[in-house]
Structures are given as structure tokens and as C-alpha cells.
Amino acid sequence: MVGDLLEDFYNVLARKGFWRAHAWFWWQALWLGLGYCVFRFWQPLEHAARALEIERMLEALSPQGLMSDVRHAVRALRKDLGLVVFATLITGLGVGATTAVFSVMKPLLIEPLPFVESDRLVWIANQGDGGLSSGMSRTSNLRDFRELSTSFDGLAGYFAFFESYTLTGSGEPERLTGVAVTDDFLRVLGVEPMLGRGFTPEEGAILGSPAVILSHRLWERSFGGDRSIVGQSLTINGSPSVVAGVLPPSFDFASYFSPGSRVDLLTTFPVTDQTDAWGNTLSIIGRLAPEATLEGARAEMAVILEQLQGADPERWGLGAALTPLQRVISGEHRTSLLLLFAAAASVLLIVCVNLSSLLLSKGIRRRQEMFLRAALGAPRARLLRLLMTESLLLAGCGALLGVGLARLITSAVAGSSSVTIPLLSSVRVDFGALVFSCLVATGAGLAVGILPAIQASGVGSAGELRAAGRTLTSSRRSRWLREVLVVAEVAVACALLVVGALLIQSFTKLLAVDLGFQPDEVAAWPVDTGQEFETYGERVAFLDSLLEAADAVPGVSSVGLVDAIPLGSSRLWGFGVAGRELERDEELAMFPHVVSDRYLETMGISLLAGRGFTDADTQETEPVILINETAANSVFPGQEAIGQALLFRDVKLRIVGIVADVKHLALEMGSGPEVYLPVAQTGDYGSLDLVVRSELPLDAIRGGVAAAIRSVDPSMPTHDVRTMAHVVDQSVSPRRFTLTLLSGFAAVAVLLAALGIYGVLSYSVAERSREIAIRMALGESAQQVRGRVLARTLGLAGLGAVIGVFLSMAASRFAMAMLFGIGATDTGTLLTIPLLLLAVAALAGLLPALRASKVDALRVLQAP
Amino acid sequence: MPKVRDFELLVILAILRQGDQSYANRVREDLEANAERRVTRGALYRTLDRLEVKGFIRWELEPSEVPERGGHPMRRLEVTADGLAAARSQGLVLQRFFAGLELGGTGRSGE
């Protein structure tokens, strides 16, 4: 057969090419193998059955037979409610876990993004292939790529710094978060507004007519789903803007591009020299032309970049790294989700093993019944089917529970705004997930049932029945089978525990990281005013009065202003050093923060040398700057940094102090070079936050601070306050999410493994009570009996643990990307976990051991 | 003697048609080309097995020189005397029923 197949394979190869021929080959081989094996397996049965009683065989395969099987299975299961409850519970756990993880994975990894031909969308980062938050580009890059590239149907961008807007005119002033996009943004993504239209090029021009597109949620929340809103004018930041359209509910900008945050409206971003001067601020997305490929586009981009750099050697910030959009969005979560899925699947595996071993022991008890049925003429196929129906029914009950469980988990996950995983809000148990859980349950039912069914239905001679009737002893083979199952179960549980333990240790290490600031007792209010000011001095005076009013609130110990709170957004400015000749591309890229004088104190950032800002630093005095430790060490190695000056846009900024490093991007990432500029001297920021330190709980000062803010600007919304502790928490949320689920899975796995050990041993003690009684009658002490049972337990668990350690070494290598401060083969963990498992196994084996040693030899041996 | 089914009859005839070149692949090609039906590999092998159990055919493995087969031997199929007899009697049945029928347009169209 193989030869025939190979011969034809070469024919197909010549006609259809490599891939299709290989696909053909494996498809044929699969079907041939499956079909032929089934046939070979069935044929003897069929013959035997036909030789005996064809009619009964046919009846066994008829649908009526099936119904009677189901009826019988229900009756049999009703007699053993304990088993049903236990099996339903654990199968429910397994199916629930896999279905829930599948549902979380589905929108991110399995389904294409819900854009038109989303596989043609490409993320064009400035450099590298970092995630969503990195790789911003200059506006001039977008302009030139649009002009020179032929690989794209369209290139669009969005301003990576979300802005806050104040909506007034209809009741309470409301703060909205908006993102500025180029006018063709929706067209490139392939998103049709639900109502109205996208932006026009006129609206996208620099001083074009202001227009906004509302998110579906804002439209429902603030405008009650009013369809006539399109074309009306809203007062945003004090000036009128026309509502061009409303986004469809399926397109929630934030859930794709900035998970965990909220975007209420889109505004326009003009592609001009002015916006280019802002530096790397734009995230670029392109749609490949129908005939273009990613590789082709990459090659073309390389040529374009060279051409542009050649035309203007001075040009900086030029770069284009192309990645499929889906990869960028799922990005770092891919590994953790796959890991979770593997963990859930392992739990399911353990569930199956447990259940299988349970049914095996139950099957032995039912041998008499099976024999009777066979004696009365039931063919083996019929017995097999009967037993399989039972296990499928059990799995079905489990699936019902599992789907319920998965719904609970997914609704909890989808409703939580504190986990920053993309597309989480669209997670639900939908039809696909239902199909998935049905498949899983059926698979589990078959897998669980097949071994016990084959064993129980394979009844032999009348002699065996007599033997079975008397001692209920299972064959050596079936005991061996159950022990193999236990070993497998312990091994999988061990691997899960090791990975879980590594992740927990990473997490605690991460939480113990020195943030560089003290997040406790600090809360932040966004304070962007819609007011217009004649001069920057007036704006500063406004901010001063805001600070003063907030500081006067009882319980507030310190207040400050900042344009980028830690663990929020990032941006880079290029600085020069006074007295050093630097080429344009040698400029020092540093993360600037515009802050008020008491910001450091409020945040708890320590000043290492020099002085902080004071109210004496004003527009009239010399421009000053603070740098962090990393900047001081990298820019002025071995020199005194204080007193030196940095250059920004040809302005000399005197360094007056050095502050401690702060974790600004993520807890896992080190701090880069950062600088602080006084808000009194620079207006170069997007939005400001008022940070307030108070020993009182947030609720005690919330009203006071809000009133203080409104006393300065009555139109400023005050409800969207966050505590810094929450901000920190949110930044570790994906990790916490993975960790919580994974440790849950690991705990369930260990529990089930312990149950499995207990079940197998107590069964083996029960069925061997006769043997034990004889041994005791011959003089074995109770202690020796206990010792033997325990030794067996530890032997099985030990073997499982050893295999588990090897398994976990492979698994943790896979989880490497998620580890922090700990190696994938951490010796401590790899030693401790198996020992822990052995201890659990010993506990599980203790009860059967005690029971064995209490066997009443006389009574057992006298029993008929 | 066991009964021979429709498809089994076709397979026996196809084997006979190949003469001394009656290998499974040739038989399948012949059936696909001339019997106006798709023949999956699995169905053919199953039928061959069944025919062998019934004693209608037998085969011997021959070493193969064809490089594509990667050294796997070929099965040369042969119809046994029983197989010939079964095919012949089935043919006679068919002939008896065809005899004297005018099939051109005399059947009921089913409308």
C-alpha cells in the first residue's frame, strides 16, 4: 500500500507541485490509515457476529438500539450518582478551562482581525519589531512613503499620544479621550462607520473644518443612540466640531491599539510640516495592494529609505520595519495565551486520565453484568457501544457544566477593564466556542471510555466469570494500566506546577522591583483645561492656582503636575550637549517629563544630587533641567553632571539636579535616560495630570480635590481619577491574568492527581484484601502492610515526578519569555516541586495504607 | 460459494484485464478510467482483502524496480479458479437479464 501511494505521489508531484502533492499525500495516507485500520478492526468482529447472529448485530447498529443504549446508560448511571457528580464536576472543570482559554485566544490568535482583508494590513514601525507602544514614526515618513511606495493601497496613521477633550454644552462637562487619525485611517483599515461617513481630506487639512467621529459606546452613553447626531455640531474644548459619523460597535479603537484604555472619539491629524516637527509621534498602518506581498513591500521600503536618506543626509528618524498588524496586536500575549491553553489542555488530560481510571475500576465490578449480556447474546460491539454511551453521557454532563463555567470566566474577563490584553472586551463563549467544547467533550468521552469499555466488554469464559464473581480481582494488565495512568497524571501535574511556580516567583520578584517612586497614597486627576490663554504666563498662573487650591484641601500633603505619569505613555526627544559637537543622529534620545516644582516630592521620587525645581524657576530665569541617574551616567560618565547644560532646539538647559531612575515603561524594563523640565518654562506637553499625595483614602479627599479643581475651572470634569497603585496594578495585569489562571489550573491538576492516586490505591487495596489477609495470616505485620502500600504510592508518584521534571524543563523553556529574574531551569523549583508532589502523594496514599493494615484477615478469608 | 458483489465483480474483471501487469495501482486506474466511478484507495484495498477472504483472488509480493516506490514491494494480483467461476456465473446472470431487452428508450422515464 505504501508503495502504491508513493508511486502515485510522484505523479501528483509532477502535476501539482511540492506543497499540494505533500498535502495530497498526507491526506490520502491519513484516510487510508484510518479507514483501513477501522476496517481491519471491524472485520473480524463483523465476521464473528455474522457467523453467529447477523440480525442481532444489525439491530445493535440501528438507531433504535442507540436509544435503548442511552436509556440503559441513564439507568446505569442513576444507580451510581456519586460517580456522575464526580465525573461531571471534573469534566466540567476540564472542558470549562479549555473553552474559556479558547474563547480568550479566539479573537486574538485564531480569528483574523475584523477588518476587511485584515491579512493585508501591515504595521510600519520606525525601528525594530517592538509592540504597539514602540516604533512611532515622523509625519514626513508617512508623507514620503505615500508618495514613493507602490506596494500599498493606502497608508494611514494615528497620533500615538491620545488627547483629552472636554465636551460641554449638554449637562455636566465630560472628559473624553480622543485619538487623532489621518483622514483616510478608517478607509485603510477597512472600517465602515455605522452612521455617517469617514473624514474628508478638507477635514484632515491643517486648519480644516473640525470634525469628530464618535465611538459606538460614547454615542450610546452620552447621546442615547440618537441617529440624528450625525451632522450636528458639538462643543469640544470650547469650539464647535461637526459629528461626521459613528463607529460600528465592532470597532473599539482602544481594544486593538491601546488595551486597557478608552477612546471616545476620533479627530483628524493633518500630515504637514508642522506636525512633522513634533518628531516621532505617529503610528503608521498600511494596506498592501492586491498584488503586493509583505516581502516585496519590505524590499521596496529598503530602497525608498536609502533614496530618502541619500537625498537628505541630514534627515533623522527615518525607518520602516514592516510587521503584519495581527502579529503586532497579539504580540507579547501570544506566548502567554498558548501557555495557558497548554495548561488548560493538561488539566483536561488529567481529568480524562482520572475518569478513565475510575471507569476502569468500575468496569471490573461490572464484569458479571457484561458476561451475562454476552451470554444472552449481545455481541461485543454492542457491549462496547453501551459502555461508550455511558462515558459520552458523563462527558456531556461535564460539557454542560463546563460551558457554564466558561461563560462565567469569560464574562468576568471581558468585563474587567484592568487587564490590558487586546480585544478582551470581545471575548465571549460564542458558537465557535460551543462547537469547540462539544468537540472537546466528545473527544474526552471517547478517550475516557475506550480503555475501560474494551476491557469490560472483553469478557471471556465462564470460568473467568466464576473467578470474577468470587474475588473481583482485576487482571494484572488492568492494574498495570491504571498505574500507568497515575504516573502520567502525576507527570503532567508536576510540569504544570513547575511552570506555575516559576511564574509566581517571577511575579513576586517583579512586584518587589524598585519602581523609583512610591505609588501608594497617590492619586492622579487629568486636568486639561478647555480655556484659552493669551500668554503662556497666564496658563502658568492658572496651573499655579490649580495647585494652590488642591494643596489647600484638608488631608492633602503634597501636590504636583506631570505630563506623563509613570507606566503611561512614552515619548523621546533628541537632546544635544552644550560644548560637544554632535551629529544629528548622535543626538541623545531621552524621555522628557514636564513637571511642576513639587512633583518629585509628591511622587516620592528621590533627588540624588543637586536641587529640584522651585517656584523661582520661571520663564524669566535660566532654563533648567533635571536628569535621571541613567542619563547622568551615560551622558557624563565619570564627570560632574550638575552645572553642565543640555541643548534642546538650540536652547541651553542647565542641569541642576540628578534624580533616581523611575520605571516609566514597564516593571520588567530598565529605565532609559530621562529628563524633567519645569512646567513654568516649557509648554511642550500634550496633557497634564494633577498628582495628589494624601495619607487619607482616596474617597476622603476625592470630593475636596474635585471641588478645588472646579473652583479654578468650573467646566473641568473631575470624575476620572486613578490611584497610582491602580496604574501599577494595570501594568502587571496581563501577567497577573496568566498567573491567576495558570495557578488555578496547577492547583486543580495537583488535586486531581492526588485524587487519582487515592482512587487507584484504595481500589487496589480493596481488590487485594484477600491477598493482604493471607499475607497477614502468614505473619506479616500491619506496619509491613502499610509500608508496602506507601512504597507503591511513592514509587508511582516518584516515577511520575521524574518524568514531570523533564516535561517541565521543556515547558518552561517555552515560558521563558514570561519569566523575570529567574531561570527556566531553576534548580530550587525543579527540586522542591517534585518533593511537594511526593508529599501530596504520600498523603493520598495514607488512607488506603491504613485501610490495608486494618484488613480483618479472618473475616475476609471466611467470606464466600 | 460466497456471493460476489457488484464492485467486487468489477475488481475481478479489472484484475483480469491487466493480464500479467495486474497491480493495485493499475487496477485502480482502470476502474477510475472505465468504470465511471471514483475509487478511493481505502475502498479498493478493503475489497481486495474481502475478495481474498472469500478465496476469489490471491496475490504475491514482487520486489519492485520502480524507484518512486522507495523499495516497497508490489502486490501482483491473480484471480483464483473460484473467482473466475463466480465472475462467470455473475456474467451469465447479467446476460440472461439483458437478453431480449431493447434498452433504447423503452424504459420508464420516471415522470
* pLDDT (tens digit per residue) in A594-636: 999 889 999 999 999 899 898 888 888 999 999 999 888 888 8
pLDDT (mean) for A278-299: 87
**Stretch A807-816: mean pLDDT:** 80
Of the listed ranges A275-279, A443-447, A701-705, A723-727, the least confidently predicted one is A275-279
Interface check for B23 against chain A (CB to CB < 8 A): the answer is: yes
The DSSP code sequence of A575-633 is EEETT----GGGPEEEEEEEE-TTHHHHHTPPEEEE----TT--TTS--EEEEEHHHHH
What percentage of chain A has pLDDT greater than the value 70? 90
Interface of A with B (CB under 8 A): 1-10, 28, 31-32, 35-36, 39-40, 43
Does pLDDT of A121 surpass 60?
yes
Nearest to B45 among A6, A7, A36 (CB): A36
Q: Rounded mean pLDDT of A250-259? A: 82
Query: Do A430 and A368 touch, CB atoms closer than 8 A?
Result: no
pLDDT at site B13: 93
What are the tens digits of pLDDT across the range B23-64?
888 898 899 888 888 888 878 888 888 898 888 999 888 887
Higher pLDDT, A342 or A473: A342
pLDDT tens digits, A418-449 = 677 777 777 778 888 888 888 888 888 888 88
Average pLDDT over residues A676-693: 86
Hey, what's the cell of A725? 497603585
Q: Using the predicted structure, report yes or no on whether residue A471 has a pLDDT greater than 50.
A: no
The answer to whether the CB atoms of A36 and B25 lie below 8 A apart is: no
Q: Which of A827, A820, A812 is nearest to A339 (CA)?
A: A812
Residue B24 in contact with partner chain A when CB distance is under 8 A:
yes
Say yes or no to pLDDT of B106 above 60: no
What average pLDDT score do residues A75-86 get? 83
Please indicate whether residue A458 or residue A232 has the higher confidence score (pLDDT): A232
Contact A6 B69 (CB under 8 A): yes
**Is the CB of B25 less than 8 angstroms away from the CB of A4?**
yes
| Neighboring chain B residues of A37 at a CB cutoff of 8 Å | none
Averaged confidence pLDDT in chain A: 82
Query: DSSP secondary-structure letter at A475?
Result: P
Per-residue pLDDT at A771 exceeds 70: yes
Considering only CB atoms, A28 lies closest to which of B41, B46, B64, namely B41
pLDDT for residue A808:
85
Q: Which residue has the higher pLDDT, A380 or A752?
A: A752
User: What is the mean predicted confidence (pLDDT) over A210-233?
Assistant: 88
Cross-chain CB nearest to B42 (options A9, A10, A35):
A35
From chain A, the residues in CB contact with B29 under 8 A are none
Contact B41 A31 (CB under 8 A): yes
Beta-carbon contacts of A395 under 8 Å, excluding residues fewer than 6 positions away, are A91, A95, A441, A442, A444, A445, A448
Average pLDDT rounded to a whole number, residues A136-156: 88
Q: Could you tell me if B74 lies within 8 Å of chain A, comparing CB atoms?
A: yes
- Check residue A588 and give left, alpha or beta (phi > 0: left; psi -120 to 50: alpha): beta
pLDDT single digits (tens) A42-74:
666 666 555 554 555 555 556 666 777 788 888
The neighbour count for residue A123, using CB atoms within 10 Å, is 23
Q: Do A6 and B68 touch (CB under 8 A)?
A: yes
Selection from A528-532, A615-619, A801-805 with the highest mean pLDDT: A801-805
Whether residue B66 lies within 8 A of chain A, CB to CB, comes out as: yes
Element (H, E) at A141: helix A139-148
CB contact under 8 A, B49 and A39: yes
* Contact status, residue A588 vs residue A635, Cβ threshold 8 Å: yes
**Torsion from C-alpha of A768, A770, A774, A777, nearest 10 degrees:** 110
* Arithmetic mean of pLDDT, A10-16: 81
Residue A526, pLDDT > 70, answer yes
Examine the pLDDT at A467 and tell me if it is beyond 70.
Answer: no
The length of chain B, given as a count of residues: 111
Q: Is a pLDDT exceeding 80 seen at residue A552?
A: yes
Ranges A321-335, A340-354, A620-634: which has the least confidence: A321-335
